[in-house]
Structure 1
């Protein structure tokens, strides 16, 4: 049965997903594509070269470390599990977003407003729910515009730092 997280627990469960989503950009090399360079039925890449095993592992690892810190700081071990699930969900949501973008004919790096900002967040929320954790509805709703703004700002910063080729 799903457990409703308190507002503070909800925030602390979501933060690892934010870390997970942002971490892969720190890799300065092209890794091994998750889709192995394969193409889907429409002839387009399944995910594309930007979704790599190394990026997936880095995202989950970074998110898990943040989850461990949150759990330790609050003496609340369920925050570790919730944060790990949120991190995994964020990375899977991001991959689903890439899959959708490829189906729409959008190339890697092409902007897809809202999809780019909310794919990982939706994935994190769904993974938390699947793991038995329900993010407090007020937090889920309040965080949506915050996630959109943070995603935009961090991508602009990553672009200025030459970590990303595009500011979105």
Structure 2
């Protein structure tokens, strides 16, 4: 598989996770998942940045992305391609990748609170990698991908995450650029 096709395949596969991870910045807010509670160390469990609404819409848009991918495959790509998981498959994949991404983001927030980092403080690689690693873990039992595709995702995701954060910051969707 040539590098360009591998790159496209990797982004196509993980797209529901990227969308699910981005949507809470736009549609989040409201009640935090940790309900404002503190952990044993006296710090918030997760913090105000992870909310029920953001989690719901993140997962929902992960699923919607999967559905859109299905129709793109049917309309514009070879339906016999490796990208054709079928409608049900794309719904499940969107759910798994979206849920995994948001779980990873929550875990990252949990770890940041244990490290006494405030919401919005940068934690290089932790901010960029937990969502992608857990998206891959959640989807893996049903959708195993080649190792080279997963390695590509681990390499490009911090770059994509960083770039999208800068764009979100410039659009006033985020308070910090990282």
Scaled by the length of structure 2, the TM-score of the pair is 0.84
Any stretches of 5+ residues in structure 1 without a counterpart?
1-6
CA shift for structure 1 position 11: 4.2
Length, aligned pairs only: 160
CA distance in 2, matches of 1:12, 1:89: 16
Which position in structure 1 is the counterpart of 2:167?
A: 157
| 2:155 counterpart (145, 156, 161) | 145
With over 3 angstroms needed to count, the CA separation of the structure-2 counterparts of 1:41 and 1:22, relative to structure 1, is same
Deviations along 1:15-58, one digit per CA (max 9) or x if unpaired, are 1000000111113x731100000000000000001100000011
CA shift for structure 1 position 160: 1.2
Which position in structure 2 is the counterpart of 1:23?
A: 23
Structure 1 runs of 4+ off > 4 angstroms? 7-11
| 1:125 counterpart (136, 148, 152) | 136
Tell me which of the two structures has the higher relative contact order, counting C-alpha pairs closer than 8 angstroms and 6 or more residues apart: 1
Which position in structure 2 is the counterpart of 1:40?
A: 39
Any stretches of 5+ residues in structure 2 without a counterpart?
1-5, 75-83
CA shift for structure 1 position 82: 1.4
Greater alpha carbon shift after TM alignment, 44-53 vs 11-20: 11-20
2:176 aligned with 1:166: yes
Which position in structure 2 is the counterpart of 1:55?
A: 54
CA shift for structure 1 position 83: 2.1
CA distance in 2, matches of 1:100, 1:71: 35
Greater alpha carbon shift after TM alignment, 9-18 vs 112-121: 9-18
CA distance in 2, matches of 1:114, 1:11: 19
CA distance in 1, matches of 2:34, 2:163: 29
Map 1:95-114; keep pairs closer than 5 Å.
Answer: 95-114=106-125
Q: Give me the CA root mean square deviation.
A: 1.6
CA distance in 2, matches of 1:63, 1:9: 17
Given that 2:29 and 2:54 are in contact with CA atoms closer than 8 Å, whether structure 1 keeps it comes out as no
